[in-house]
Amino acid sequence: MVRFALFGAGFIGQVHGGNLATHPHTRLQYVYDVNAEAAQRLAGRYGANVARSVEEIFGAEDVDAVLIASSTNTHADLLRAAIRARKPVYCEKPIDMSLDRVKAVVQEAHDNPVPVMMGFSRRFDPNHRALREAVRAGEVGVVEMIHMVCRSAAPPPLSYIQVSGGQFRDQTIHMFDLLCWIAGQEPVEVYATGSSMMDPAITAAGDVDTSMLILKFADGALCHIDNSRHTGYGYDERIEVFGSQGLVESRRKPVREVALYKGSKVVEEGMFAGWFERMEPSFLLAVEAFAAALEGRAGAEYPTLMDGLRAQMIAEAAVESLKRNQPAPIEYWQPA
């Protein structure tokens, strides 16, 4: 049983809180949020304690690990505090908006290692996982092309977009992690282009809502990512890997695999309403993987802080490419 303290009782904090409280291998021990009412509401729902400060959590003897689900600008400081307190930590993505701060945290974690899991929950989607297993088992031969589609049903509120770091650091970052995890290698170059087509306020925020990226691996393999912030038909995410001996795809997932055949028409179920409805089960599987690793169960693996750094460095190069409208090399910094 791993006893967790949770930072953040907002949208994703409530998801993690519920999972930690109900999973048989984890317990929701404390909740801390600067919004004390939100912390109280969440803790009260599951009989957890409300912490009055960050220090209270890191000083508590009945905390085995922490989960950081607070706003992005708090991740780096809380990560550092967890590393210093020698507490394993599950941290939501991204590590921080500033690459310098990201590097400082990664260096500190490198000098004082504790288990750190990044919240790349899409790795736990059973379909994406099966696709990756097929690729890594050589079922499609040498990977030549990867196609990824990541289209949200509707854009997040403007207030979120303004502090999100932009579409690549916020939305595409999941795809950057997935493509390295699937291919087992890292891209060396990215060309990103994008437009803001759905809301002039997104343009005013300096962001794009419609983008395409082409990434190149050292062995010549190519990856294409297509991103949108709205669809009008629900959440649309899919991955296709084309290799020298075949193709494997993790398809668009409908809500149910039911089709009505009537007259000259076939009516099928549509997409999930949004990314969360599509991806919800993967959050519990992610927590399960981290708890399993902390308990030393065989075969448990999870995305690490270094994976968070890698995805972020790809995002930084994509931002640079978009700005300069030309391909950008991807530089991978490593802690000394």
Ligand X SMILES: NC(=O)c1ccc[n+]([C@@H]2O[C@H](COP(=O)([O-])OP(=O)(O)OC[C@H]3O[C@@H](n4cnc5c(N)ncnc54)[C@H](O)[C@@H]3O)[C@@H](O)[C@H]2O)c1
76 or 248, CB closer to ligand X?
A: 76
Q: Which two tokens stand for residue 280?
A: 């919800």
Mark the segment that binds ligand X (CB under 6 A) among 67-75, 100-108, 129-137, 241-249.
67-75
How far is it, in rounded angstroms, from Cα 29 to Cα 35? 18
Spatial neighbors of 55 by CB under 8 A, at least 6 apart, are: none
Find the residue with minimal CB distance to ligand X.
10
Q: Please pick, from the candidates 27, 87, 93, 103, the single residue that binds ligand X as defined by CB under 6 A.
A: 93
How far is it, in rounded angstroms, from Cα 105 to Cα 82? 11
From residue 4 to residue 43, what is the string marking binding to ligand X with x (rule CB under 6 A)?
---xxxxxxx------------------xxxx--x-----
Q: Chain-centre distance of CA 73, in angstroms?
A: 16
Residues listed for the chain:
336
Position 92 contacts ligand X (CB under 6 A): yes
* Distances in whole angstroms, Cα of residue 13 to Cα of each of 8, 46, 132, 197, 247: 5, 13, 28, 31, 37
Position 121 contacts ligand X (CB under 6 A): yes
Position 165 contacts ligand X (CB under 6 A): no
Q: Please pick, from the candidates 72, 167, 171, 250, the single residue that binds ligand X as defined by CB under 6 A.
A: 72
How far is it, in rounded angstroms, from Cα 175 to Cα 244? 22
How many residues bind to ligand X according to rule CB under 6 A?
21
Q: Which two tokens stand for residue 303?
A: 């995305």
Spatial neighbors of 297 by CB under 8 A, at least 6 apart, are: none
CB of 216 to ligand X, least distance (A): 26
155 or 243, CB closer to ligand X?
A: 155
Q: Please pick, from the candidates 69, 294, 311, 315, the single residue that binds ligand X as defined by CB under 6 A.
A: 69
Mark the segment that binds ligand X (CB under 6 A) among 3-11, 142-150, 220-228, 328-336.
3-11
DSSP annotation of 235:
-
CB of 285 to ligand X, least distance (A): 12
75 or 217, CB closer to ligand X?
A: 75
DSSP annotation of 157:
P
Residue 221, phi then psi, degrees to nearest 5: -60, 150
Q: Which residues bind ligand X (CB under 6 A)?
A: 7-13, 32-35, 38, 69-72, 74, 92-93, 119, 121
